[in-house]
Amino acid sequence: MDQVMEPQAISVKRAQVEFHNFASLGEPERAIEDYAQDNLKRGTLIRNHLAFAGELSPFLEIGANAGHTSYMLANEFGADGFALDISADALRHGVFLMDHWGLSRAPVRMAGDALNLPFPDGSLRFVMTFQTLSQFQDLDAVFREAKRVLMPGGVFLFGDEPIRRLLTLRLYRCPYYEKMKPWERWLYDRGLLGFLVKDVIGADQEESFGIRQNHRMGLKDWQLLIERHFPAKEYEVFLPQRGWAERAIVQAGRRIDRHGSDWVPARLLGGTIAAFCRKEGTAPAGAPRFRQFETLLRCPDCRGPVERDPEETLRCRSCGYSAANEGGVYNLIRSDERKELYPGDREDLIDFTLPGHAGKLGSGWYGLEGVFGNKYRWIAERASARLRRVKPGRQKLRIRGYAHETMFRQGQPVRVQVSVNGSDAGPWNLDRSGLFVIEAPVGDAPEYAVEISASPTWMAPPDDRVLTVNISMIRLVDA
């Protein structure tokens, strides 16, 4: 029998919630600059294809992160719509963007699942997503869901999706530029690193979090996928030209291509693709009244109609599902998954963004630091914590932390050691600075005494603390 491919496992969804909560505005100044650059490129892309895209209201952005591109569509294009992401916390950070950029209009923000969109059939004119599809193993499932919610004649835009590269040895996953080793940066600046690495540069960070990537799609694969679902399309490819080596391949590929296009260079070097895909049929005249946006929604559990009460809570008329307005965000994820992805202040979880986390910490922790979702505590040589089991079945311990680059300048191995109820569960050797996630199976017990130790230590005068790593989450998850 053929193996059934799961489009996206619950463990991947959990990793996405953690990652985007941590990364969306963990470094606000840098994140805002990145978002501004995204919007500059994406705004230009939409303008170049606006005649094909047509009416943009009501729109939906899937995988919106902090919602920055939805804010652009609402303010620069005057469109009405929804910003949806698996991470409610990432969307809440959008208020900071709105204030920082001085914006007057905002999308409706909601946590939701791209595989179970909380919208009735044929309810939206424009659906867009960027840097999202490659996080799903079954892309047809995502296309079917996007097509379902589009009106006849509506348009699905996806962009910043990787094209599989032929000219590479696929030796290892490489991080982003700022985390590269000196020899990697030397190769990157000359356009040579891409000939060695697996997947795409930067995929290492998401993979280390547990976000499984799908980088199997060559340019022909993307074309066939689009044609299976949409009768009309316009697309652009964007080629990597990071140094003389890649520029030379681009020029040679264009000469080889019988049309002088970027098709051959894109097959050889990869890059990214953006496509506007139109659903069959003719769009109805006039746009729905967006003031009652709840009329464009459906219940994620029973798929019944949704109402909005005076307290701004969304409620299903049929099954009683409810989603309160929490910090400007509605959580419209299916009930069983919402309990797992948003457990709250539970005994088997230490989330440093929640005030109750301190009661589960033992000795060895410094004060709480960080902004938005990037809350953490530094430790010195060791620190302890305690978790209590709340679910049956096999469990594993998951720890999210950060290793500063100063640790790697000591001339010693950078190591994290974990013990659980007195038994060693490590060690882990880290070879790069930045975020890390470590996981280890744990035995069957009602409580878990966790001790984390790390080396080498370092200091940052005039701060007189002795430091190793910082920790932002400790939790039990299903094995």
Tell me which H or E stretch contains 442.
strand 434-442
Question: What integer pLDDT is reported at residue 2 of this predicted model?
Answer: 43
Question: Cα dihedral sign for 157, 146, 95, 177?
Answer: negative
Kindly report each contact of residues 342-348 with a partner whose C-beta sits within 8 Å and lies 24 or more positions away, as own/partner. Answer: 342/17, 342/88, 342/111, 346/390, 347/387, 347/388, 347/389, 347/390, 348/387, 348/388, 348/389, 348/390, 348/391, 348/395, 348/475, 348/476
Question: What integer pLDDT is reported at residue 65 of this predicted model?
Answer: 94
Q: Which of 349, 373, 371 is nearest to 361 (CA)?
A: 349
- How far apart, in Å, do the first and last CA atoms of the chain sit? 26
Question: What integer pLDDT is reported at residue 389 of this predicted model?
Answer: 95
Rounded distance between C-alpha atoms, residue 68 and residue 91, angstroms: 9
Question: What integer pLDDT is reported at residue 322 of this predicted model?
Answer: 97
The answer to whether the beta carbons of residues 127 and 121 sit under 8 Å apart is no
Q: Dmax of the chain from CA atoms?
A: 68
Which residues of the chain, if any, have pLDDT below 70?
A: 1-5, 286-289
Confidence (pTM):
0.93
Q: Which token pair is 462?
A: 């005039």
Rounded distance between C-alpha atoms, residue 312 and residue 330, angstroms: 9
Beta strand pairing call for 469-478 and 349-351: antiparallel
Question: What integer pLDDT is reported at residue 468 of this predicted model?
Answer: 98
Q: Which of 71, 260, 145, 391 is nearest to 251 (CA)?
A: 260
The answer to whether the beta carbons of residues 211 and 185 sit under 8 Å apart is no
Q: Which token pair is 431?
A: 């070879």
Question: What integer pLDDT is reported at residue 3 of this predicted model?
Answer: 47
- The CB density around residue 86, as the number of other CB atoms within 10 Å, is 28
Enumerate domains of the chain plus CATH numbers.
10-278 (3.40.50.150), 349-478 (2.60.120.260)
Question: What integer pLDDT is reported at residue 7 of this predicted model?
Answer: 85
Question: What integer pLDDT is reported at residue 204 of this predicted model?
Answer: 87
From the CA atom positions of the chain, what is the Rg in Å?
23
Question: What integer pLDDT is reported at residue 426 of this predicted model?
Answer: 83
pLDDT digits (tens, 9 = 90+) for 448-467: 999 999 999 999 999 999 99
Q: Which token pair is 269?
A: 């070097």
Question: What integer pLDDT is reported at residue 452 of this predicted model?
Answer: 98
Q: Which of 232, 289, 286, 292 is nearest to 55 (CA)?
A: 286
| Backbone torsion region of residue 89, taken as left when φ is above 0, otherwise alpha when ψ lies between -120 and 50, otherwise beta | alpha
